[in-house]
Structure 1
């Protein structure tokens, strides 16, 4: 579908109006410039928009790749995979129920306040997507300890799951092996098992963390 400049401008203004008038967020000029920049990328590139970083060798998935990807059973799971999925996410957005939290994984505020909020409302964590942030936490002194200490405060059950991206493969008796050119795989691990290993002193490295994943 050809890009429509008039619709682009109309939607951009609608986005800002919703944030500033309906939700009453005090967006600074810099905030608005960031919205302009990001939305312009989608307008210019459409569904081929992707994460571009030369040190990854251009292997980043495009937006179209992500929206059409399937799980190991061949089932599409993205919010655009079905009308029901789309309407569910749309309804959450309309009700302002998708709340971004900006903070430091190794800090003492953001994650702990989320944990406190969940406890106060009798809720548990179902999924925590960490991307590949944990790899860097283990490279920065005790940041990984601060992170896992905060995670320990989250209300969770046996189904609470970490979802992480990693460009390391591993075997039962082999250390992690880095993929060529930075391709990522998605790994899962029960949050409670990670916390248990951390509290017992069995988790002290990124390799330990990867070995708890599958």
Structure 2
């Protein structure tokens, strides 16, 4: 064989190899997550994925994790298209979602009260033009002059600290939220859900930006982070990353809500249905879990003997090497990984696939 013949043969071989590679890519699973859901499909999905209502010792209207932003710089390295966020609890999810920019998000919580909380937030995001408007509606305070889309979270909250709460505005917003959910979105909410939403609205109206984890339970809040604290907090390098730190962050959430792609679900992490149903939904559409925010739920799963079921539920999710746990733990030598439970003083990351590989699916 001459050198010319060898070169031609190599060229043809390379073309064939490339064709096989491209064919392999086209046959691989691709993310086919919905670009948008109708309000009807949003509600149907939430109901179909959910388990019966459960209980917890607190109504958990607000996070108590002041250091939650510290893991975001490392977490942000996993940002890819077509990925799905899972979380639990209230507003801290918004800060992680703003950083990760997932295609879709599911907030799974044992209490239906958390679903009702997120329905209130859904309405407020959709009804608000910008962050300052959102804060006005959340705390029933008239918007002060001088705030703009370039205002910092600190500037916004300092400005509202000088504004009295308005009962008239509260009544107006309460009606607007209900009308938006029932009439504009057409969600078939029952009386129980409407009462739950009103309960949440009243708590934010009553306690204002000083609301903390223990406020609605009537307990002392010494050393508890307030809404103000959480929104003006920063990561370890001093960068403000809360969901109200910038219009860009805020609009990530506003866009997801407008498209009905942030879905609240009622379910126990160690339960038989919710997590597995979410995982199956995502898997069938070629999606991958980017992160699963756990707070300190593992502590309670362990106490209830539900850790093995939880581990199996997670193992069944569509994961890859970048899929990350975000957990709240007490600092200490054994504070990371399964078994390192704490009261949410600091946040740490874990590798989902690695930590659950020995658990049966």
For this structure pair, what is the TM-score category when the shorter chain's length is used for normalisation? Answer: 0.7 to 0.9
Higher relative contact order (CA 8 A, sep 6+): 2
Which residue number in structure 1 is paired with residue 313 of structure 2?
150
Quick check: 1:122 aligned with 2:286? yes
In structure 2, the CA distance between the partners of 1:113 and 1:126, relative to structure 1 (3 Å rule), is: same
Larger Rg: 2
Single out whichever of 108-117 and 63-72 deviates more from structure 2.
Answer: 63-72
Q: CA shift at 1:14, angstroms?
A: 1.5
Which residue number in structure 2 is paired with residue 62 of structure 1?
226
Q: TM-score, normalised by structure 1?
A: 0.81
Q: CA shift at 1:56, angstroms?
A: 8.5
Q: CA shift at 1:36, angstroms?
A: 1.3
Quick check: 1:192 aligned with 2:353? yes
Quick check: 1:84 aligned with 2:248? yes
Which residue number in structure 2 is paired with residue 134 of structure 1?
298
How far, CA to CA, are the matches of 2:272 and 2:309 in structure 1?
Answer: 8
How far, CA to CA, are the matches of 2:280 and 2:341 in structure 1?
Answer: 37
Q: Which runs of 4+ in 1 moved over 6 A?
A: 53-57, 176-179
Which residue number in structure 2 is paired with residue 203 of structure 1?
none
In structure 2, the CA distance between the partners of 1:109 and 1:159, relative to structure 1 (3 Å rule), is: same
In structure 2, the CA distance between the partners of 1:178 and 1:102, relative to structure 1 (3 Å rule), is: closer
Residues 52-93 of structure 1, C-alpha deviations (whole Å, 9 max, x = no match):
178897332111111111112221111100111112211222
| SS at structure 1 position matched to 2:229 | helix
Q: TM-score, normalised by structure 2?
A: 0.49
Which residue number in structure 1 is paired with residue 178 of structure 2?
16
Which residue number in structure 2 is paired with residue 30 of structure 1?
192
Single out whichever of 37-46 and 145-154 deviates more from structure 2.
Answer: 37-46
List alignment gaps of at least 5 residues for structure 1.
201-214
Quick check: 1:41 aligned with 2:235? no
In structure 2, the CA distance between the partners of 1:22 and 1:77, relative to structure 1 (3 Å rule), is: same
In structure 2, the CA distance between the partners of 1:87 and 1:166, relative to structure 1 (3 Å rule), is: same
Which residue number in structure 2 is paired with residue 110 of structure 1?
274
How far, CA to CA, are the matches of 2:247 and 2:341 in structure 1?
Answer: 38
Single out whichever of 6-15 and 99-108 deviates more from structure 2.
Answer: 6-15
| Two-structure CA RMSD over aligned residues (Å) | 2.5
Which residue number in structure 1 is paired with residue 257 of structure 2?
93
Which residue number in structure 1 is paired with residue 324 of structure 2?
161
| 8 Å Cα contact 2:299-2:341 kept in structure 1 | no
How far, CA to CA, are the matches of 2:219 and 2:303 in structure 1?
Answer: 19
